[in-house]
Structure formats: C-alpha cells, structure tokens
Amino acid sequence: MVTARQLPGGDDTIVALATATGRGAIAVIRLSGARAISIARALGAYAGVSDPHPRRATRVALRHPNGEPLDDALITWFAAPRSYTGDDVVEISTHGGHVVPALVLAACVAAGARPATPGEFTRRAVLNGRMDLVQAEAVADLIDARSTAMHRQALSQLDGGLSRRLLALRDEVIQLEALIAYDIDFPEEDDGPIAPARIQNAAESLRDALRALMNTAPRGAVLRDGVLVVIAGPPNAGKSSLFNALLGESRALVTPIAGTTRDAIEAVLDRAPLPLRFVDTAGLRDTDDAIERLGIEVSTRYLGQAQVVLACGASEADIEATRHVIATRTPGVIIPVRTKADLDASVPSGSVQRVSAETGQGLRDLLEAIDGAAASGAVMLSTGDDVLVTRERHRAGLAAAHDELTEFLLAWESGALPAPVAAVHLYAAREALSDLIGIVDTEDVLDRVFRDFCIGK
C-alpha cells in the first residue's frame, strides 16, 4: 500500500486554516507532518518543555520566528499515529478575524510548513489508513450537508456504515474466488470439486445484493439534494411570492408585472423527513419574448424531474389550466394551490390548498401536504435499509461490480469458459469494490483460501 510519505510532497509538514475565514471568536490552524512540533516550538510553544503532553491544550504566547508577537493562543499536539491524518498534528486555536489567523499561518510557513492543498489533510488520513475513501467523502458531505437528513446520513457513513457493507460484499467476492480456486486446484479431492450450483447460488445472491445497494442511489440523491418541488402556474399567479414565503426569506424577485421570473431559482428548505428543494419558475404561457420563452423551457425541464409540483393559480380556472398544462409534463405528485387567498372571499373547495403569501395563511398546511407527498414518493424509493449510496461514484462502482457478476454468471451457467477465465470477472468485480473503498491489497484471496480451506493441513 502506498503511504502518504511515498507521494510527492508527502514528507512536507502542511499547514492550513481549518475554520472559515472572516470575523469569528476563534480560528483553528492545523499543522500535519513530522515537523509539526518543531514548527510549533519555532512559534514559541512548549518553551522549556522537552517532553510535551499529547492531546493537552497548552496556552502559548505565539510569536513569529522573527520574534514579533502574534497572539495569546491554545495549542494541542496529537501524536502520530493517533491523529486525524495519522501524522503528528498540531492544532493552534487563535483569536479569529482576518488578521491573526493570516499572520499565524504566515509564521508557520516561515518556520518551514507548506500551505496544504484542498483536502490534503483528509487525503493523508486515507493514505495513512485512518479512514477509507468512502469515509473521506462522508467528511465532505458532513461539511456540505444542507439538511438534517443529509447530516445523519453523512455521520453514519463517516462511522463506517457504508464501508462495512462494501467490505462485506467484497468479502463475498473473495469467498467466491476462493471456492473457484479450490475447485481448480483440487478437482480430484475425495469429496470432489465444489458443486457448480453452490457457486452459482452464491454468485446470484451476491449480484442481487450489489443491485439492491445500487438501487438506493435515487433515495441517496434525494437526501443529498432534497425532494424537487416545482412551483408552476401562469404569470403573475404569485409563485415567486409563495416561494419567498415558504422559505421565509426574499430570494425571488416579486413585481406586479407578469413575466417577472425568467430563470429558475432554487433553494433548499430543511424539513423532516426529507429536505425540500423548491424551484420558482417562469410562468407557463405562450409568449413571443425570446428570453421568457427560454425561461419557460427551463420550467418544462424542471417539471420533467419534479417529485412534487405546486399547481398554482389565483382562481379555480387558473389552477385547472395549470393542472392541464403540467399533467403530461411531470411524473411528480401535483398539489393544486389557490394563491392570494386573502383576496378571495369565495367558499373554499375540497382538495385545493389555499395560501396567502401576504398574510401567511395556509403556508403551514401546504408545507405539511408537501412533506406528505414527498414522503409518499420516497417510500417508493425506500429499501427499508439504513445504508445507502449518495454519490454517482458509489453507484458507478457498484454497477461495475454488478455487471461483472452478471458476466461471470453467464459464463458459469453456460460452461462456455474454463473456470479460471470466468473467474476473471470476479477479480474485476473485486477491483471495482476495492477502488470504491480505496483499498489496494493483493493478499486477500490467498489469505481467504488458507483460512477457510486449511490447505496446509
């Protein structure tokens, strides 16, 4: 296995600001590498202490190596290999803001550290075996999470939920390879070669398990991006006003002029059980205005992907017209919405949600109806399984492994290929899963053969 140190620049001690830039109480500057401690000392830390305690915050009067005072800070050393990256890590908590962190960062560089490239700390963690690739992605997902649902998913992935599942699947491939290796090497054994049906059954159930995990991708995508809720209706229906009211902030432009919204505007609302991704669209109508026409084409494209559509109108006739227009353009659940309800004195009719962006009337009920529609759609996506894949990389890796298993089964069932040739597909399936998890190891099959088959006995 390649270690961090064998890569170009892998010996460097890297430094970066770990917290967001700008005004804030505290900033954390992180150093990682063999020289982390000596750089910390060059900045005034651990003066007169020959043997600093790891994992203990120590107060330090930070100064530049040239002697210039920088800050009154806290410093903590995480000794290798028990650190985030697996190398020596030093974290310096300074006062926040624009100047102090920049000066401390510059001082670290002056003392011999190199500015880290994006993701380099986590990359080192992967190369040093502190986490696998899937967990590294979970770190990014946790930081980027825009909803509590995605946050929960990222935490579980960071905890190794998906990694364990992928490792178990990879183990099953190895088990199959071992069965075939045994079959090839010992066809004349007393108890005979492995029954072909046993191998076929195992391969089929493995292929099905790969497919099941692969099929969690649509649900993963919904967790990541939110349920797509498109607000559709004629110009001036109050769609942008509704969009703003649902989000509780003024995101979209609102004017009394029909045709105000030209481009789709998106925003995510963190709701349970699923985040909602609202899209405000251009009003649906025939128009000669080229730009507005483009906007309407965008609306149509969104409608084609929508999971929920709010069919808006300021009158029953408008709502009906909207429903009529979108019915053939969307696979989503359609919720009829009567906008500007504050202006309407007529008796409410059955299933139509009546809302007013002006007074806030009906907004809560509408949100609950959307949650319900989103969940009913999501139930169809649900697998009753907590572990799911959220990235195209995961889906593609599983698809590759799945296709290799299919190829293997074809060859195995027909008996057209000799076993060692058919087994090449298993090898490829294992590689696809290894790439997914980020492991490179060739000893696994041999280990398994020896352990399960007691060949030396």
Ligand X SMILES: Nc1nc2c(ncn2[C@@H]2O[C@H](COP(=O)(O)OP(=O)(O)OP(=O)(O)O)[C@@H](O)[C@H]2O)c(=O)[nH]1
Residue pair 38/90 in contact by the 8 Å Cβ criterion:
no
| Strand pairing class (89-97; 22-32) | antiparallel
In the complex, the smallest distance separating the C-beta of residue 250 from ligand X, rounded to whole angstroms, is 11
Binding status of residue 240 toward Mg ion by CB under 5 A: yes
Which is closer to ligand X, CB of 207 or CB of 239?
239
* Residue 281 in the binding site for Mg ion (CB under 5 A): no
Pick out residues in 272-301 that bind ligand X (CB under 6 A).
Answer: 282-283
| Nearest residue (CB) to ligand X, 342 versus 371 | 342
Residue 22 β-bridge partners: 97
340 is a site residue for ligand X (CB under 6 A): yes
Does position 136 bind ligand X by CB under 6 A? Answer: no
Q: Nearest CA to 395 among 226, 212, 236?
A: 212
Q: Among all chains, which residue has been given the structure tokens 């986590």?
A: 122
Q: Is the dihedral of CA 293, 297, 303, 306 positive or negative?
A: negative
Give which of 29, 22, 33, 26 is closest to 43, Cα–Cα. 29
What are the residues whose beta carbons fall under 8 Å from the beta carbon of 399, sequence distance 6 or more?
Answer: 214
Q: Which does 241 bind (CB under 5 to 8 A by kind): Mg ion, ligand X, none?
A: ligand X
Binding to ligand X (CB under 6 A) within 369-398 occurs at: none
CB of 432 to ligand X, least distance (A): 47
Q: How far is the CB of 264 from ligand X (least distance, A)?
A: 11
Site string for ligand X, 249-268 (x = CB under 6 A): -----xxx-xxxx-------
Q: What angle do CA 181, 184, 187 make, to 5 degrees?
A: 130
Residue 78 has φ and ψ, to the nearest 5°, of: -110, 110
CB of 350 to ligand X, least distance (A): 21
**CA 292 – CA 311 distance, rounded (Å):** 19
CB-count burial class (<10 Å; 0-12, 13-18, 19+) for 442: exposed
- Applying CB under 6 A, among 13, 93, 94, 241 the residue interacting with ligand X is 241
238 binds, among Mg ion, ligand X, none (CB under 5 to 8 A by kind): ligand X
Can residue 239 be called a binding residue for ligand X (CB under 6 A)? yes
What residues from 243 to 272 belong to the interface with Mg ion (CB under 5 A)?
260-261
Segment near ligand X (CB under 6 A); pick from 56-64, 173-181, 203-211, 230-238: 230-238
- Among 2, 83, 78, CA closest to 37: 78
Binding residues for ligand X, rule: CB under 6 A, are 235-241, 254-256, 258-261, 282-283, 339-340, 342-343, 356-358
State the residues that interact with Mg ion by CB under 5 A. Answer: 240, 260-261
